[in-house]
Amino acid sequence: EVQLVQSGAEVKKPGESLRISCKGSGYSFTSYWIIWVRQMPGKGLEWMGRIDPSDSHTKYSPSFQGHVTISADKSISTAYLQWSSLQASDTAIYYCARRRYSNVWYDYWGQGTLVSVSS
């Protein structure tokens, strides 16, 4: 069974750092890109960026470039999204999803990680 399992909810203060994770199982982790999607409270889905776990090549949305870092450790089938300095505006649910590079859809999604940033 294909699964993307994300790390648990986080409560942080502005200026703190954070790394959340997305672990894939039930498939060849290096055969699919992993994307990260932000959903702010009551809002829509925003594509943040993606990583190819086979070579760790990344691509970011201009809206998120420089504010987050996407990485992956293919030895443990896990992708990461990290911040070096959180802001209150980073409060959101973050989803990971997979996409086979030859396809143009996201077929499996993680359950989401709620990140709350407040002083």
Which residues are near another protein by CB under 8 A?
35, 37, 44-47, 49-50, 59, 61, 95, 97, 99, 103-107, 109-112
Q: How far is the CB of 35 from another protein (least distance, A)?
A: 8
Helix H or strand E segment including 11? strand 10-12
Q: How far is the CB of 104 from another protein (least distance, A)?
A: 4
User: 50 in the Ramachandran plot: left (φ > 0), alpha (ψ -120 to 50) or beta?
Assistant: beta
When the beta carbons of 72 and 97 are compared against another protein, the nearer one is 97
Owner of token pair 């396809």: 103
Q: How far is the CB of 18 from another protein (least distance, A)?
A: 20
The DSSP string of 51-99 is: EETTTTEEEE-TTTBTTBEEEEEGGGTEEEEEESS--GGG-EEEEEEEE
When the beta carbons of 75 and 105 are compared against another protein, the nearer one is 105
Q: How far is the CB of 13 from another protein (least distance, A)?
A: 25
- Quick one: DSSP state of residue 32? E
When the beta carbons of 74 and 100 are compared against another protein, the nearer one is 100
When the beta carbons of 44 and 66 are compared against another protein, the nearer one is 44
